[in-house]
Amino acid sequence: MLEARDTLRESSLAPEAPVFDAAMMADAELAYSYLEQAEMNATGLALTVRKQINGKSFNNSEITMWDVGSLILGLLAAVELELAPADRIYRRIRKIMASLPVIQDGDAAYPPTLINVRDASIERRGFDACDFARLTSAVTRAAQHTALADACSQLIGKWQIAGLMQGGVLNNILKTRIQSSYQSHCAHYQTRVLPALGQSETRSPYREAFVGETVADRTVSLLYAVDKIGILPTEPLLLEYVELGPSAECAVLTDVFLGAMKYHFDQTGQLLAPSETPIDTSPWFVYQGFDLGHETRWNVSYRKGREVVFEPVASSPYGIFSTKAAYLWYAVRPCRHTRKMLDMAQEHARIDGFGMSSGLFLDGYTQMKNHADLNTNGIVLQALAHLKRRTR
């Protein structure tokens, strides 16, 4: 990745003073309108994907704990951005927390993999360690607000995850087996979040690889670890900046990622903003990002039946410019190149009266029309609140 390192020296990647202007405030208002329109009165939760075709609505009413975390964090950002009365938002967050079910499994107690937003009934049993980390990040951040402290304490008090830890790693509970979450890009994020629940002895593949006498040695070792895990997306890499502040490992990977995106732009003219994204056509959900394990550095991965397909982002019909990724990159690393990313999203991803589109198809940067999702709009709000905070 010498190309990425050298590219970082270009003037277009030189840090610039962050800007938060009226257009960004309008984006925040639009993103918040998604959270309001998608709200379920009984639970405070929100529809995770909304699409309109010929005046008819098609909505996804199943929600993961990752999306619950994004909803809570988006609502907290809305308080910071003064998009609605704080008391009203706090009431909704308390309702969300009170509605979340807990599975009792021997000595362990944990939120399920998937629930219904309308009544919080369990749609899929099991436990997802990465999604739980996202929810934990949201709840512990919410606990810093006096009006939410009791609700957060009550929810955390229901969880008992010590029995799910093995050798410093939080296990996933799947239908038929237990699976370690260590070999994932979320494991490092977990090590930043779980100490808030008393789990301080946690393991991270990033941290354990980031060793050596020089920065170059540490970086190469870290990149080998990333290669072993697989495609590196924008999330949760940049979410660590917004929610927790960057670790040394996160900062190095962000440098390489940004340099590699700019190198791809220089070579192809294609502006990337990769992350995990729901899309408005089969296969409905794609993973994309920085892929050290394949000859092509930028790939999209998706399921086709039982097969997992990898395709170059540049030529795949499912290559997506992720709206949330564009806002995160500018919020975390403002420079001329990330401003181009933000400008692309602002120009093409707005759906008036509906929310921010999940993304743009890289072939022509055409919008996923009338297709928006909770995670995108929650993270856009997070990014904009972070950006506004940096300009103060």
Domain residue limits, the chain: 2-391
Q: Which amino acid is at 85?
A: P
Distance CA 153, CA 140 (A): 9
Contact between residue 323 and residue 341 where contact means Cβ atoms under 8 Å apart? no
Res 55: pLDDT:
75
What six digits make up the tokens of 339?
A: 């401003």
pLDDT computed for residue 147 by the predictor: 98
Return the amino acid letter for 279: I
Q: Measured between alpha carbons, how far is 285 from 45 in angstroms, rounded to an integer?
A: 21
Q: Which residues face 176 on adjacent strands?
A: none
* Consecutive 10-residue averages of pLDDT for the chain (392 residues): 55 89 98 98 98 83 98 98 98 98 96 98 97 98 98 98 95 94 97 94 96 94 95 96 95 95 95 95 93 87 90 91 98 97 98 96 93 98 97 90
CATH class of the domain defined by 2-391 = mainly alpha
**Distance (Å, rounded) from C-alpha 133 to C-alpha 385?**
21
SS3 104: strand
Residue carrying the six token digits 């709200």: 39
Give the global pTM: 0.96
pLDDT of residue 289: 93
- Cα 209 from chain centroid? 23
Amino acid (one-letter) located at 72: I
Q: DSSP alpha helices (H): ranges in 38-128?
A: 65-80, 86-99
Please report the pLDDT score of residue 7 as a whole number: 58
Tens of pLDDT along 174-193? 988 999 999 999 999 999 99
